[in-house]
Amino acid sequence: MTGRERTAILLQGREIELEYEWITSDLADAPLIVFLHEGLGSAAVWGDWPAVLCRATGCRGLIYSRYGYGSSTPRPEGEPWPADYLGAEAREALPALLGALGVDALRDKPILFGHSDGGSIALQYAAAFPQAVRAIVVVAAHLLFTEEVGSQRISWMQHRYADSPLRRNLASVHDYPDDVFRGWSELWLSDRFREWNIERCVPLIQCPVLAVQGAEDQYGTLDQLDRIARLARNATRVVLERCGHFPHAEQPAMLAEAVKNFLNKELS
C-alpha cells in the first residue's frame, strides 16, 4: 500500500482530483523537490528514485500524477488533448496543486525535477513564476516539436501498442492506461502539435537550471539540450554517455551525483 492520497483542484473550469505523495515528509524544514513525470508516467512510475534523490540531497519531495494519469481524474473520453496541455499544467495545475497542499511557492521556492514532458513543464513554470522557484532540473526535456527521431519512435509504439509489454506496464501505473497512451501519442503525432515550441520562455527563467540528457536518447537529439543551455541565463549542461531517455533508471548514481553537486553549488 502506498502513501498516496488525492486532492481537488480547479483546472480550466473543471474540478479534478490529483493523486500525490510526500517523500521524506519528516524533513519539514528541508528544501522541497517537486517531481514532474514524463508523458506516459505517473506518481507510481518513479519507483524509489524520488526517495533516493531526496536522501542524497537532504530534501523532502512531492510526487503526483497529472490530470488523466495514474489514479488522478481521467480526461473526458474521446476528447482530444489540447495542444498546450503542458503549458496548462505549468501555469494552472501545478500552482493549484501546490496551493491545495499548503505549499507557499513564493516563500518555500520549490525545486522542480522534470523528466521529458515534465521537464518541459518545469521550464514553463519557471518562466511564468520566476520568483516562485529555487532551481530546476530538466532531464530529456523538449523545447520544440519532437524531432524526426521522436516521431518515428512514437509511431513505432503506436503500431505495436495493442499486444505490447508497454500496454501491460502502463496498466500497472494508470487506472486508464489506453486513454493515456492514445491521448499522448495522438497529440504528439498530430498536425496541430507541429508548431508547438517553448523556446521563447527559456530566457525568462531566472533561477539556476541543470539540463541533462542521455547521449543515446530515443526521443530527441542533443540539439534540445543545447538549445536550453544556449537560451537559459544560468544553465549547467550535462550529457550522460551510454544512456537513453530514462537517466534516473539507466544511470541513477551518476544523475544523483550531478543533481547533488548542482544543488550544493547553486543553493549554498
pLDDT in tens, 166-201: 999 999 999 999 999 999 999 999 988 888 999 999
pLDDT at 1 over 80: no
Nearest CA-CA partner of 20 in 34, 9, 32, 5: 5
> Cell for 50?
524520488
Task: Identify the CA nearest to 122 among candidates 236, 189, 227, 37.
Answer: 37
* CA pair distance 217, 245, nearest whole angstrom: 4
Top pLDDT among 145 and 23 is at 23
Instruction: State the CB neighbour count (10 A cutoff) for residue 159.
Output: 8
CATH number at residue 263: 3.40.50.1820
Q: What is the C-alpha separation between 52 and 252, in angstroms, rounded?
A: 9
- The DSSP bridge partners found for residue 17 are 8
Q: Confidence class of residue 2 from pLDDT cuts 50, 70 and 90?
A: low
pLDDT tens per residue across span 12-51: 889 999 999 999 877 778 999 999 999 999 999 999 999 9
Residue listed under C-alpha cell 492520497: 5
Q: Which parts of 114-246 fold into alpha helices (H)?
A: 117-128, 148-160, 165-171, 177-188, 222-231
Q: What are the beta bridge partners of residue 35? A: 63, 113
Contact between 146 and 219 under an 8 Å Cβ cutoff? The reply is: yes
What's the domain range around 192? 5-267
State the total domains in the chain: 1
Cβ contacts of residue 22 below 8 Å, gap of 6+? 3, 60, 61, 62
pTM of the complete model: 0.96
Give the pLDDT confidence of 92-126 residue by residue, as tens digits: 999 999 999 999 999 999 999 999 999 999 999 99
Quick one: how far is CA 221 from the chain centroid? 18
Measuring CA to CA, which residue among 76, 71, 56 is closest to residue 12?
76
Q: Among all chains, which residue has been given the C-alpha cell 501519442? A: 185
HSE, side-chain direction, 13 A CA sphere, residue 202: 25
Residue 210 has pLDDT above 90, yes or no: yes
| Average pLDDT score, the chain | 94
pLDDT at site 147: 76
